[in-house]
Chain A
Amino acid sequence: MAYYSKISTGWDSLDAIIDHLRRGDNVVWQVDGIEEYQKLVSLFVNKALSNNERVVYMRFARHVPLLEERPPNLSIYHLNVENGFESFSAQVHSIITAEGRDTFYVFDSLSDLLHAWATDLMIVNFFFITCPYLFELNTIAYFAILRNRHSFKAIAHIRETTQVLIDVYSYKRKLCVHPIKIQHRYSPTMFFPHIKRDNELIPVIDSVEATQLFSHLLRDKTEIAQRNLDYWDRLFMRAEKLLQSDTSEEEKQDMVEQLSRLLLSRNKRILALIRKYLTLQDILQIKERLIGTGFVGGKALGMLLARKILHSNHSLKWDNILEHHDSFYIGSDVFYSYIVQNGWWNLFMAQKTKDGYFSKARRLRDLMLKGEFPEAMKERLQLMLEYFGQSPIIVRSSSLLEDAFGSAFAGKYESYFCVNQSSPEKRYQFFEQAVKKIYASTMNEDALAYRLQRGLDQMDEQMALLVQRVSGAYHKSFYFPHLAGVGLSHNPYVWKRNMDANAGMLRLVLGLGTRAVDRVEDDYPRIVAMDDPVVKPLAGMRDIQKYSQHYVDLLNLEENELQTVSLLELTQKDLNIRLNAVAVRNNETAQSRENGFLPGPDHWVLTFDHFLTATPFVKTMASMFKTLEKAYETPVDIEFTVNFTQADEIQINLLQCRPFQTIGVNPSVAIPETIQADKVFIQTEGNFMGGNVSQDISAIIWVDPKSYIELSISEKYSIARLIGKLNRLFAHPKRKPTLLAGPGRWGTHTPSMGVPVTFSEINQVVALAEVSFQDGSLVPDLSFGTHFFHDLTETPIFYMAIYPENSGVVFNQQWLDSLPNMLTSISPGDSRWDHVVKVYNLDMHKMILRTDVVTQKLVCYRQE
């Protein structure tokens, strides 16, 4: 291939005006219609092909194809724009990388991207990251944009970025070519408009003719005012007009769907819900509170949709019950713009590769904490903060992957409270830092590993943000909601016969809900079975006290930070927190140490019993569960807070709602219809706790019932201690997910009933099985996990009860017995117990534990 530094456009006259194209040129044609661009493209490509150059055509628009795939030197790539900016840009990036240096490119009209993306900003961003890369690779690339379609700002950015920008239009039915920018080339008439006469381009240098020409171009003045705005805003202005007009409802709903695809979700099931429950007005209201462009994200959508679903149900006066919200959303495009405009795109792309997945992530995370937002964005954010004033707010991640049907992306990204107590500048700084921290959290190793594990590593991140006013009340210098928690419309922890899983459950705390959402070591939220709210799987005050909430999360307004304060300290501060409704005094501890009846500090235990029985709260939540579950057609989980009005009525703030989540890997894969019978290790219906799981099991620790019952009491205790040792040395929730199975009741005080372990001796396993054993004295009546109920729910550890003697239940001990016992190699000093305690490594067998709470099926089988 000959190497020419000057390249022809295929049109000699044009070559003469612009002094040829040069390698590295990005050429943007601003045209009235696609035909003009098509002509220019074919001139260029024919010439290039005849010179034996390699040409690549990037095909993605809906307009007619610019080129046909015939010549050997021409490749056509069909790109998908529907999946959004990130995946499109990534596709282009990887094609360019693969094609290498010196290639010629033709892109479809960039204006067509508006159809899918609806924003000038992201087209500019695409251009901003692609052009320099093409330049670097010494290529020539043709782009087109349609006149009057984009905002002035967008055109300005494109002009700034590209090497060549040429305006093409027709004037008095004649083609006009007007170079706007030609980098590093100059001639006295280069930047005049040129009119085509025959095949020659003649410069319009006569001032009379030029004036006519330019005034012709500016004829549509109304358009001009609008073009100060991004296409995005213009689109919504059109929708606004449509709403005011007397167009048919159906047409308006079509607009809802069109806008929803840009603003809310691309998920079909979610879109169906949106169409059913949201009106055009709702969509426009969401848009009003959106900063930037793009999606509002799963968390924000879940909240909005759930509220709307409730309001459309008239069985309760939800208007009086639900606390109103005035949240803002920061669109997902802002995240990409932040990356692009700080110049990290190449690094971002490098992170997507196998080699860079973790190594580049670290660098990117550090950079993302220190980037700059454009001035315009800063202004928008500052306005929003002014709106909230000194009210505490919370900035929450609202990624598109979170909270959708079939995905399990719970809690991998963080939320940050802004207590908002200092000067406006400081408040802004703090807020901006929170935003950056959430953006950077996409590069956290945990989140990345999670995505990789689930095959989501190449999917778009689409990180939007939800900015909410913190729901709560002032208690002297503290700020927090009375109560907060999470709710599941299907109770995965049914620990008692006759308890109805479909009634749902709550995890309830005093203060900020962080303690209910996150699982905190050694502290326990109140677990409420909705059909029997007062009962607890605990006996006596000692246990009730032990398995209750001892610490409260709150915002300290004086210190301007999120704090965790002990309940004991809080209850002595004389705050108006309605202790009598949520807690009881613990008289049993009060008497233990003091002499006689001297009053010490009151020890309150948060039971919430009075609140649960004397207020309509449980009924309200039950109705909420039913309504949402019916609309979503699947169990849901929610986050909420509860406050009291002046009149002492409860106000529920619904913060989040999403379809019920599956714990574990490959959540979208259901239990296979048929599993080869000899591959099944455990199969049972019902009798398990822990919700939907899909959990790899790479080891089993098995206590053999027959040998166990033969042991003396002292020896049985030794087995418990040995389990503790294996738990410490061998099991690990991630590195070695282990199932612990044995006879009778784990954690009993009576060794003949089961292995008398403490919770800390089993806390590293992922699943616990109690197996009934008929031959011995081990009662088939299992404890159903209640010995460890609270710890199992908090850790969380999956629990199952297995009755091998029941029909339909499988527990394949024979297969287990055929495996080699690894006990001695793990703990050589304990070989005398190898007939009782068996440790099996299942790495080769690809064992998986799957459950479905709706059908109540549990199956644990080999996938080898």
Chain B
Amino acid sequence: MSIIDEVTAKVKLVDGDQKEFQQAVAEVLETLEPTAERHPEFVKAGIFERIVEPERAILFRIPWVDDRGDVQVNRGFRVQFNNAIGPFKGGIRFHPSVNLSIIKFLGFEQIFKNALTTLPMGGGKGGSDFDPKGKSDGEVMRFCQSFMRELFRHIGPETDVPAGDIGVGGREIGYMFGYYKKIRNEHTGVLTGKGLEYGGSLIRPEATGYGTTYFAAEMLATKGLDFKGKIVAVSGSGNVAQYAIEKVTQMGGCVITACDSSATIVDEKGIDEEKCCYIMDLKNNRRCRIREYADKFQAACFEGQNVWDVIREQGIKVDIALPCATQNELDGENAAALVKNGCFCVAEGANMPSTPEAVRVFQESKILYGPGKAANAGGVATSGLEMSQNSLKMSWTRKEVDDHLLVIMKSIHKSCLDAADAYGKKGDYVAGANIAGFVKVAKAMLAYGIV
């Protein structure tokens, strides 16, 4: 029995009621099998046993008074999972489904996501089973303040820097940061996702889309290629897709697709800067369907199909694919069709947009495939950039942030490539992304001795 199986089994035993966490441990550790073989010192130092156990998990009471004057009590969590390479870092989620299992599951994954950005950020996650839906503004504020009344003693710019997540947006971050500032009497970068007025960073919405494009460009560069003149398929039409289209266009590529939940548009002439602005206005301000794009610019429109179905059925030739819509949007069949039509580079802007079968197709056909873990890490990286600006007491311009983002994406790309190479899987970004983040954390843990 390998150490991986042993650890997985042990988690099942001791955390028997934590189904989500168990599943995450099993799925992550499975990919780390080669590191255990390569690094007996990791096994010896109990890295695997230690990494599945959080540094600490804080569970606390959050009493607050609702608008009717009744006392409500919710449960708060902060799981500080791993700070080997930097302060604990990870979002806070307010949602009735929140429990210890979910928070541990998310916190565990966060360790590797953060490590992969190559920035000094540890992993953690927090939240509460509080449901902000149906609560008045005043109730949300009182809840956030009560939440912070306990959390403040566990966090700090050098200790733990939470961010937003589901149910925690600009409003909630504002209330929590305001209260922290009040009771600590210090204005420090203790939370990320702040408003621009009080320490937030520019380029947050753009980061994932830009980052994915930079990552794809790096992959192309390994073959001596770039975006110039390439036909690019982008799926989705939300933030990620919009900024991916913008950046690809700026880099000389020609994006011909976009989609929303109801339809896909194919514009053979390419979605240029003006058309991209139209999509942004359509989706962000006017909140209309993508089919309106087809009417306005005389593009083809396919109702009820996503980009990858359309490409397969219409036999459209694309050079590069950037799936930026949703999980499992691209299946094995679609992947085969993409490859057959000459696609040689896929970079994932969304989380897990390709099914395991699709990933297999990409890997077997040896095309450039950048998994979301690495390719969309730009989003996670901006949290780090916000921390950096807070520490420096500086606010960077858009260009400065964008330049840093480019550097980070290049560095992520390089560490994936290097890790894959080191483990005899040259060019395999999936293996690289799985291993690179972990090895960095593991090596740091090794250095600290048994702590």
Q: B202 contacts A728, CB within 8 Å?
A: no
Within 8 A of A (CB), among B334-381: 352, 355-356
Residue of B nearest to A761 (CB): B261
Chain A residues with CB under 8 A of B134: 495-496, 532, 535-538, 786
B262: contacting residue among A541, A745, A753, A760, CB under 8 A: A760
Q: How far does the Cβ of A786 sit from chain B's closest Cβ, in whole Å?
A: 5
Q: A539 contacts B287, CB within 8 Å?
A: no
Chain B residues with CB under 8 A of A750: 20, 97, 102
A471 at interface (Cβ–Cβ under 8 A)?
A: no
Q: A781 contacts B169, CB within 8 Å?
A: no
Chain A residues with CB under 8 A of B170: 540-541, 587-588
Contact pattern, A 362-392, Cβ under 8 Å of B = 1, otherwise 0? 0000000000000000000000000000000
A721 at interface (Cβ–Cβ under 8 A)?
A: yes
A273 at interface (Cβ–Cβ under 8 A)?
A: no
Q: B327 contacts A522, CB within 8 Å?
A: no
- CA–CA, A717 to B195, complex, Å? 33
Contact pattern, B 230-258, Cβ under 8 Å of A = 1, otherwise 0? 00000000000000000000000000000
Q: A720 contacts B167, CB within 8 Å?
A: no
Q: B196 contacts A540, CB within 8 Å?
A: no
B328: contacting residue among A534, A595, A721, A760, CB under 8 A: A721
Residue of B nearest to A754 (CB): B97
A828 at interface (Cβ–Cβ under 8 A)?
A: no
Chain A residues with CB under 8 A of B135: 535
Stretch from A116-124, A211-219, A708-716 that touches the partner: A708-716
B424 at interface (Cβ–Cβ under 8 A)?
A: no
Contact pattern, B 153-179, Cβ under 8 Å of A = 1, otherwise 0? 000000000000011111110000000
B286 at interface (Cβ–Cβ under 8 A)?
A: yes
B315 at interface (Cβ–Cβ under 8 A)?
A: no
A433 at interface (Cβ–Cβ under 8 A)?
A: no
Q: A756 contacts B327, CB within 8 Å?
A: yes
Name the residue in A521, A535, A752, A776 with the highest tally of chain B Cβ atoms < 10 Å from its Cβ: A752
B23 at interface (Cβ–Cβ under 8 A)?
A: yes
A776: contacting residue among B19, B102, B261, B327, CB under 8 A: B19
Contact pattern, A 838-856, Cβ under 8 Å of B = 1, otherwise 0? 0000000000000000000
Residue of B nearest to A548 (CB): B287
Chain B residues with CB under 8 A of A777: 17, 19-20, 101
Q: A595 contacts B23, CB within 8 Å?
A: no
B37 at interface (Cβ–Cβ under 8 A)?
A: no
Q: B287 contacts A541, CB within 8 Å?
A: no
- CA–CA, A597 to B133, complex, Å? 30
B97: contacting residue among A713, A776, A779, CB under 8 A: A779
Q: B205 contacts A593, CB within 8 Å?
A: yes
- CA–CA, A471 to B177, complex, Å? 47
B397 at interface (Cβ–Cβ under 8 A)?
A: yes
Within 8 A of B (CB), among A479-531: 495-496, 521-523
Within 8 A of A (CB), among B119-166: 131-136, 166
Chain B residues with CB under 8 A of A712: 23, 27
Q: B196 contacts A591, CB within 8 Å?
A: yes
Contact pattern, B 166-199, Cβ under 8 Å of A = 1, otherwise 0? 1111111000000000000000000000011100
B355: contacting residue among A539, A714, A728, A748, CB under 8 A: A714
Q: How far does the Cβ of B309 sit from chain A's closest Cβ, in whole Å?
A: 10
- CA–CA, A760 to B95, complex, Å? 22
Contact pattern, A 599-615, Cβ under 8 Å of B = 1, otherwise 0? 00001000000000000
- CA–CA, A748 to B95, complex, Å? 10
Q: B132 contacts A522, CB within 8 Å?
A: no
Q: How far does the Cβ of A742 sit from chain B's closest Cβ, in whole Å?
A: 15
Contacts A540-B167, A721-B328 known; A550 to B20 CB distance under 8 Å?
A: no
Residue of A nearest to B280 (CB): A593
A808 at interface (Cβ–Cβ under 8 A)?
A: no
For the complex, would chain B's binding face be called helix, strand, loop or mixed by DSSP majority?
Answer: loop
Chain B residues with CB under 8 A of A595: 202, 397-398
Q: B261 contacts A717, CB within 8 Å?
A: no
A758 at interface (Cβ–Cβ under 8 A)?
A: yes
Contact pattern, B 65-108, Cβ under 8 Å of A = 1, otherwise 0? 00000000000000000000000000000111100011000000
A820 at interface (Cβ–Cβ under 8 A)?
A: no
Residue of B nearest to A495 (CB): B134
Chain B residues with CB under 8 A of A536: 133-134
- CA–CA, A709 to B326, complex, Å? 21
Q: B328 contacts A714, CB within 8 Å?
A: yes
Instruction: Indicate the size class of the contact surface on chain B.
Output: 35 or more
Q: B328 contacts A550, CB within 8 Å?
A: no
A185 at interface (Cβ–Cβ under 8 A)?
A: no
Q: B169 contacts A760, CB within 8 Å?
A: no
B418 at interface (Cβ–Cβ under 8 A)?
A: no
- CA–CA, A483 to B166, complex, Å? 33
Q: A748 contacts B97, CB within 8 Å?
A: yes
Q: B97 contacts A522, CB within 8 Å?
A: no
Q: How far does the Cβ of B258 sit from chain A's closest Cβ, in whole Å?
A: 15
Q: B97 contacts A539, CB within 8 Å?
A: no
Q: B195 contacts A591, CB within 8 Å?
A: yes
Q: How far does the Cβ of B192 sit from chain A's closest Cβ, in whole Å?
A: 15
- CA–CA, A593 to B204, complex, Å? 9
Contacts A522-B289, A550-B286 known; A752 to B195 CB distance under 8 Å?
A: no
Q: B261 contacts A760, CB within 8 Å?
A: yes
- CA–CA, A760 to B259, complex, Å? 13
Contacts A718-B355, A748-B97, A752-B23 known; A540 to B172 CB distance under 8 Å?
A: yes
A188 at interface (Cβ–Cβ under 8 A)?
A: no
Chain A residues with CB under 8 A of B331: 718, 721
Q: A753 contacts B136, CB within 8 Å?
A: no
B2 at interface (Cβ–Cβ under 8 A)?
A: no
Q: B261 contacts A541, CB within 8 Å?
A: no
Chain A residues with CB under 8 A of B326: 758
Residue of B nearest to A536 (CB): B134
Chain B residues with CB under 8 A of A496: 134
Contact pattern, B 201-238, Cβ under 8 Å of A = 1, otherwise 0? 01011000000000000000000000000000000000
B6 at interface (Cβ–Cβ under 8 A)?
A: no
- CA–CA, A603 to B286, complex, Å? 11
Q: B23 contacts A539, CB within 8 Å?
A: no
A568 at interface (Cβ–Cβ under 8 A)?
A: yes
A752: contacting residue among B19, B204, B261, CB under 8 A: B19
B58 at interface (Cβ–Cβ under 8 A)?
A: no
Chain B residues with CB under 8 A of A550: 286-287
Chain A residues with CB under 8 A of B260: 760
Q: How far does the Cβ of B68 sit from chain A's closest Cβ, in whole Å?
A: 9
A542 at interface (Cβ–Cβ under 8 A)?
A: yes
Q: B19 contacts A540, CB within 8 Å?
A: no
Chain B residues with CB under 8 A of A537: 133-134
- CA–CA, A535 to B260, complex, Å? 30
B329 at interface (Cβ–Cβ under 8 A)?
A: yes
B34 at interface (Cβ–Cβ under 8 A)?
A: no
Q: B171 contacts A592, CB within 8 Å?
A: no
- CA–CA, A589 to B171, complex, Å? 12
Chain A residues with CB under 8 A of B31: none
Residue of A nearest to B398 (CB): A595
Chain B residues with CB under 8 A of A532: 134
- CA–CA, A378 to B200, complex, Å? 68
Q: Knowing that A522-B289, A597-B197 touch, tell me 8 more A-B residue pairs with CB under 8 angstroms.
A: A539-B94, A588-B171, A720-B327, A721-B331, A745-B97, A760-B261, A777-B17, A781-B97
Nearest first, the 6 A-B pairs at minimum CB distance are A760-B261, A539-B132, A777-B19, A540-B169, A717-B327, A717-B328
Can you report 28 residue pairs joining A to B where beta carbons are below 8 Å apart? A496-B134, A521-B289, A522-B288, A532-B134, A535-B135, A538-B133, A539-B94, A539-B167, A541-B170, A588-B169, A589-B284, A591-B197, A603-B285, A709-B19, A712-B23, A713-B27, A714-B355, A717-B327, A720-B328, A721-B329, A728-B304, A749-B95, A752-B23, A758-B261, A760-B260, A777-B19, A777-B20, A777-B101
Residues of A within 8 A of B (CB): 495-496, 521-523, 532, 534-542, 546, 550, 566, 568, 587-589, 591-593, 595-597, 603, 709, 712-714, 717-718, 720-721, 728, 745, 748-750, 752-753, 756, 758-761, 776-777, 779, 781, 783, 786, 829
